């Protein structure tokens, strides 16, 4: 008869998929390597699948394991929330990895503050930041992402959100470039030089183009790059004009040799929010993480759903 899956076996499964190694999973769970290996054997019998298979010098998960991992992670999160619901959370003893999906423009200014604030009180916590690829809410639902931080909100009854701060887009230029000493360039001046557009979807057009078109102007987008950070590096070494989040421009402008200025147009402000699934709303550890990120930014957030 196949082994029955218990919570401890599911924890081993989760560690194996996260680490991709029996040795690393054993270290993560504070088990001996033979114990972790035996647990893998039990998992294989119970699930009817190899779970991990050899690939060169390493091991890779099977398709079944990849499909199952998010559901297992979700079950473990729910079990953790249930067990700790009536207990006081000991932050200093917390050992947990949180996966945070984050926009690159936000990451450039938020990651340092979040990591420092977390490490100061919870050295056993690991913040695992992953780049945006798809804004699908399924990653929040299945537990593969704990928090989603970025622009905008998601209208779904099972997804909660909190406003972190409002952001605005500013223009950036090389400090010693043609517009480096112009205090507040006009829209017409912004159109005299080539632009670089930051878009992970490869888009060269944005809200600024609508404003320019209404004013009878047009800019020339000469390059499209995937991130705001790459745009800033390009601007720092060229006569290109770029657009960037103001916080990023303020924090890194001087060290990169660029300066920023407000765009003389009524562009929409960006709401930067953190989102999480309803099943983690009452989880003490996740609530602490949300509060820590909020406080690290020094802004007052507001729960919106």
Give the SS3 label for residue 26. Answer: helix
More confident residue, 3 or 130: 130
Alpha carbon distances (Å) from 105 to 76, 174, 226: 31, 19, 11
pLDDT value, residue 72: 86
Q: What is the pLDDT of residue 84?
A: 58
Sequence-distant (6+) residues with CB within 8 A of 158 are 137, 141, 277, 278
65 vs 297: which has the higher pLDDT: 65
pLDDT category at 300 given cuts 50, 70, 90 is: very low
Q: Where residue 11 falls among pLDDT bands split at 50, 70, 90?
A: confident
**Check whether domain 169-262 has CATH 3.90.1300.10, yes or no:** no
Hunting for tokens 């909020």 — which residue is that?
294
Q: Which range has highest mean pLDDT (24-33, 221-230, 291-300)? A: 221-230
**Residue 2 pLDDT level (bands cut at 50, 70, 90):** very low
Residue 267 confidence (pLDDT) above 80: yes
- Provide the pLDDT for residue 303: 44
Give the mean pLDDT of 278-304. Answer: 76
pLDDT > 70? residue 249: yes
CA distance linking residue 298 with residue 305, whole number of Å: 21
The confidence score (pLDDT) of residue 31 equals 86
Q: pLDDT band for position 241 (50/70/90)?
A: very high
Residue 302: band (very low, low, confident or very high) from pLDDT cuts 50, 70, 90:
very low
Average pLDDT over residues 184-194: 93
Task: Assign domain 93-163+272-299 to a CATH class.
Answer: alpha beta
Number of Cβ within a 10 Å radius of residue 184: 10
Q: Would you list the DSSP string of 259-283?
A: EEE--SS-PPPEEEEEEEEGGGTT-
Task: Give Cα separations from 156 to 66, 102, 191, 271 (angstroms).
Answer: 26, 19, 40, 17
Confidence class for position 180, pLDDT limits 50, 70, 90: confident
Instruction: Output the CATH code of domain 7-84.
Output: 1.10.10.10
**Averaged pLDDT, 292-296:** 89
The two tokens of residue 61 are 């998960």
Q: Which has more confidence, 27 or 83?
A: 27
Other CB atoms within 10 Å distance of the CB of residue 201: 6
Q: How far apart are CA 289 and CA 117, in angstroms?
A: 10
Local structure of 19: helix, strand or coil: helix
Q: Do domains 7-84 and 93-163+272-299 have the same CATH topology?
A: no
pLDDT above 90 as % of the chain: 43
Domain residue spans in the chain?
A: 7-84, 93-163+272-299, 169-262
- Mean pLDDT, the chain, rounded, equals 86
Whole-number pLDDT of residue 137 = 78
Asked whether the predicted pLDDT for residue 225 surpasses 70, the reply is: yes
pLDDT for position 290 = 94
């Amino acid at each position: 008869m196949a082994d029955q899956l218990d919570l401890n076996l599911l924890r081993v499964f989760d560690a194996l998929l996260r680490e991709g190694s029996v040795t690393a999973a054993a270290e993560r769970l504070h088990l001996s390597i033979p114990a972790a290996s035996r647990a893998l054997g039990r998992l294989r019998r119970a699930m009817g699948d190899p779970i991990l298979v050899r690939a060169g010098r390493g091991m890779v998960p099977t398709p079944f394991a990849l499909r199952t991992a998010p559901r297992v992670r979700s079950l473990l999160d729910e079990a953790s929330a249930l067990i700790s619901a009536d207990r006081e959370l000991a932050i200093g003893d917390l050992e947990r990895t949180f996966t945070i999906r984050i926009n690159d423009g936000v990451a450039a200014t938020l990651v340092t503050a979040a990591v420092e604030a977390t490490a100061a009180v919870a050295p056993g916590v690991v913040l695992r930041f992953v780049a945006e690829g798809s804004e699908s809410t399924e990653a929040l639902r299945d537990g593969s992402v704990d928090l989603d931080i970025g622009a905008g909100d998601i209208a779904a009854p099972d997804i909660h959100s909190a406003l972190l701060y409002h952001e605005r887009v500013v223009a950036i230029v090389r400090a010693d470039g043609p517009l480096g000493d112009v205090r507040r360039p006009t829209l017409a001046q912004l159109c005299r030089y080539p632009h670089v557009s930051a878009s992970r979807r490869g888009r060269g057009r944005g809200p600024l183009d609508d404003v320019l078109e209404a004013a009878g102007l047009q800019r020339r987008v000469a390059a499209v790059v995937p991130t705001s950070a790459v745009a800033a590096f390009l601007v720092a070494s060229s006569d290109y004009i770029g657009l960037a989040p103001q916080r990023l421009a303020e924090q890194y402008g001087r060290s990169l040799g660029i300066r920023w200025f407000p765009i003389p147009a009524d562009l929409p402000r960006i709401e930067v929010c953190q989102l999480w699934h309803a099943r983690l709303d009452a989880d003490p550890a996740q609530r602490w993480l949300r509060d820590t990120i909020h406080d690290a930014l020094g802004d007052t957030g507001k729960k919106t759903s």
